[in-house]
Structure 1
């Protein structure tokens, strides 16, 4: 396993949903302290207790608590956005995110009788991650964890056999997300380029959903050709 060089305090917006709960579990299992956020603390606290119970006996695990969204952000230096795209802008605009590293794994998807597909954001020239950056100019937003299966995050395997791609315009913030990726895959995340490339990463999740339905699996991404990764 790759050592995680820094311990972070991470607030997870959408921490009571499958993706947020699963990522919070993985982060805490690797020693990071996690605050699961929800619209009401009363909803977040029992989910945090469920994750804490799951971590019983895991040596070096971090703490997991629950709080209302804004309170969770106040307690953390890293904020993960794992919320539905519907209502995303209103929520992000309301949060105290100035000065924080914000990791968006929000996927603007739609579903019809032909399956999942990516929604067009800003006429094709935007993404959920870029929208979060526009709404919170004093935060530093990166995109990561878009393509990770919530089912596998909550599963029994020590690590997921896939890579986490990280996009952003500030290297230091990308380093945070790449560190946290080791909690999920056992190795650091991969620098995938600038924040605008979230326009490709976010809707690609629809392709994985299609693969999963076809092959009855939980597919992920692996990047080849990187020496020592």
Structure 2
């Protein structure tokens, strides 16, 4: 696979989901910036991921530097910290695509669905960042542990957003990572993907598995 020159930044790249996405993106030959408020932690995480991903293009940096230098930004911080982090980096996100991978869980009952006042967390992100930023949602229903393997991931990634071209760009990125991305409609539909995460958490606890979702009836080429 040829290297892609797009620089992908991950805010919260040291967490389970963020580091898993970084691992997959590096294997897909993207240049990846692993972001954290603690730059030393970010550098350590990037070094550890690089050693197992066959992808040398992993760099640890502050969240601010990630937002400034990346062409596309994935937000994978805990939801409780999300808005604070976004306010710190807002000025560097103008004109960019931002992928919301967060889920508005409410501990301790994370297996119970909680709806946001704006409908979805992704819509709230769009309102916070403004029209100069293209927000899409994705990756909410992928088990983080599966991302850090080289195995095929047998679940679909729902991509919601209001700009078709931006969604197609994110879907292409997902496919390059070895997963199936599906256009799930407008950003408002993110509420469904976010809610499914709580449902999946409950299923995974009860059945002791790492379940995802799979949309049937769609012709696809397995990676």
TM above 0.5, yes or no, is yes
Q: For residue 26 of structure 2, what is the aligned residue in structure 1?
A: 28
Q: Give the TM-score, by structure 2 length.
A: 0.91
2:114 and 2:18 mapped to 1: Cα distance? 21
Report matched runs for 1:79-228 at 5 Å: 79-95=73-89, 96-112=92-108, 116-122=111-117, 125-137=118-130, 138-157=132-151, 159-184=152-177, 186-228=178-220
Match among 28, 45, 48 for residue 47 of structure 1: 45
Q: Secondary structure at the match of 2:139?
A: coil
1:111 and 1:40 mapped to 2: Cα distance? 24
Q: Secondary structure at the match of 2:184?
A: strand
Q: Secondary structure at the match of 2:51?
A: helix
- Judged with a 3 Å threshold, the aligned counterparts in structure 2 of structure 1 residues 40 and 178 are, in CA distance, closer, same or farther, namely same
- Judged with a 3 Å threshold, the aligned counterparts in structure 2 of structure 1 residues 30 and 203 are, in CA distance, closer, same or farther, namely same
Q: Secondary structure at the match of 2:154?
A: coil
Q: Give the TM-score, by structure 1 length.
A: 0.89
* RMSD between aligned residues: 1.9
- Judged with a 3 Å threshold, the aligned counterparts in structure 2 of structure 1 residues 5 and 144 are, in CA distance, closer, same or farther, namely farther
1:67 is displaced (CA, Å) by 0.4
After superposing on structure 2, the runs of 4+ consecutive aligned residues of structure 1 that deviate more than 4 Å are 3-7
Q: Secondary structure at the match of 1:111?
A: coil
1:51 and 1:5 mapped to 2: Cα distance? 17
Where does the alignment leave 5 or more consecutive residues of structure 1 unmatched? none
Where does the alignment leave 5 or more consecutive residues of structure 2 unmatched? none
For this pair of structures, how many residues does the alignment match? 218
1:175 and 1:62 mapped to 2: Cα distance? 26
Per-residue CA distance 1:153-212 (angstroms, 9 max, x = gap): 11241x20111110000112111220121244x254110000001111112101111111
Q: For residue 76 of structure 1, what is the aligned residue in structure 2?
A: 70
2:216 and 2:7 mapped to 1: Cα distance? 31
